Structure 1
């Protein structure tokens, strides 16, 4: 049994195998890299662990907590705070981190245990643009979620004063040739700037 299979069994992630396979081969206009699949898998494991302890989950909190646990740019102090917070929720943090899998483990699971071969959809221009747009949207959503969680933590620890708030992310692209400005979704949908068409 591979590590991925073991974790799927232990966390009762019954449909995870099919989901990983679907996302990797790109069905439904989605195609994830192995690193994206590992992050998706590990965040699902984290969410399941928190749900088992009946932890209250804010939107974007799982993604941000996972980042704080795994991102090498996060300071050791912030990581320790995150681990302590999880421990207070009843999570065995060391076991949880041991259950996280690498992108290599995902590759081994898909190719050797599910017998999946990978073909890229990058020849389809429309699919490639849509995938790029989805990547940008996910980054915008993640930025908003991380900002919201960080501000709430600062407010709750009385480091800043802040009442009810919303976080907005808006990516604008400015063409240096003509000076036009576009929301990035509009630019991608239009196929580029008007001055070049």
Structure 2
């Protein structure tokens, strides 16, 4: 068993687990994803859960003492879409005063795409959801594959233009953000979140 695991290709989630000494967090991700002994969690929820543990480990290593709920608040300030730049900067400055390299920390945060790849390709985990579950998994994999390709193609073209001085820009990151819009309620949803939930909130939450 150990030899087969050692032969597997490196994976970002597994690397971060090792570097931050997160123990059996990979197994916990698998249990939460498959719903083993509990309600199943979405990939996005799992990514947030994982990243909070990364932040907690970094703060513990730096000797940062936090009050109840403070760690979650700091994480939300670092990653939230509706956070003001002032609030985000204050959170970053606090961590940096404690000796934490926030850029390196956030580079070690993972996306829900990375969690899905880790669970399926690295841990060989499977979600037993019947025919509907299988079809949803195939759809998630297809979207993930195409999104990764869009990221790669965009990065390659931008870097080519930059290297030949046809584009005036510094080093870049590429984030492909695909949204599905429900024409009944107007909500915009990440397609993987939508598929995992089984429908738009205007129908599923009714």
With the length of structure 2 as denominator, give the TM-score of the two structures. Answer: 0.57
* Matching residue of 1:94: 103
State yes or no: 1:64 paired with 2:73: yes
Could you tell me how far 1:119 is from its partner in structure 2?
Answer: 2.9
SS at match of 1:117: coil
Select 1:33's aligned residue among 33, 39, 42: 42
* Matching residue of 2:88: 79
The aligned length equals 122
Select 1:10's aligned residue among 19, 23, 28: 19
Could you tell me how far 1:120 is from its partner in structure 2?
Answer: 4.3
* C-alpha RMSD of the superposition: 1.5
User: Unaligned stretches of 5+ in structure 1?
Assistant: 124-197
Q: Distance in 1 between matches of 2:71 and 2:88?
A: 14
* Matching residue of 1:151: none
Could you tell me how far 1:62 is from its partner in structure 2?
Answer: 1.1
Q: Distance in 1 between matches of 2:128 and 2:84?
A: 38
Q: Distance in 2 between matches of 1:69 and 1:101?
A: 13
With the length of structure 1 as denominator, give the TM-score of the two structures. Answer: 0.60
Q: Residue by residue, what CA displacement relative to the aligned partner does 1:120-156 show, whole Å, maximum 9, x if unpaired?
A: 49x9xxxxxxxxxxxxxxxxxxxxxxxxxxxxxxxxx
Residues 35-50 of structure 1 aligned to structure 2 (within 5 Å):
35-50=44-59
Residues 28-177 of structure 1 aligned to structure 2 (within 5 Å):
28-120=37-129
Q: Distance in 2 between matches of 1:61 and 1:99?
A: 20
Higher relative contact order (CA 8 A, sep 6+): 1
Could you tell me how far 1:102 is from its partner in structure 2?
Answer: 0.1
User: Unaligned stretches of 5+ in structure 2?
Assistant: 1-9, 133-206
Q: Distance in 1 between matches of 2:38 and 2:104?
A: 35
* Matching residue of 2:33: 24
Could you tell me how far 1:70 is from its partner in structure 2?
Answer: 0.4
Q: Distance in 2 between matches of 1:119 and 1:36?
A: 19
Q: Distance in 1 between matches of 2:129 and 2:44?
A: 15
Q: Which has the larger radius of gyration?
A: 1
Deviation >2 Å, runs of 4+: none
Q: Distance in 2 between matches of 1:14 and 1:113?
A: 16
Could you tell me how far 1:72 is from its partner in structure 2?
Answer: 1.2
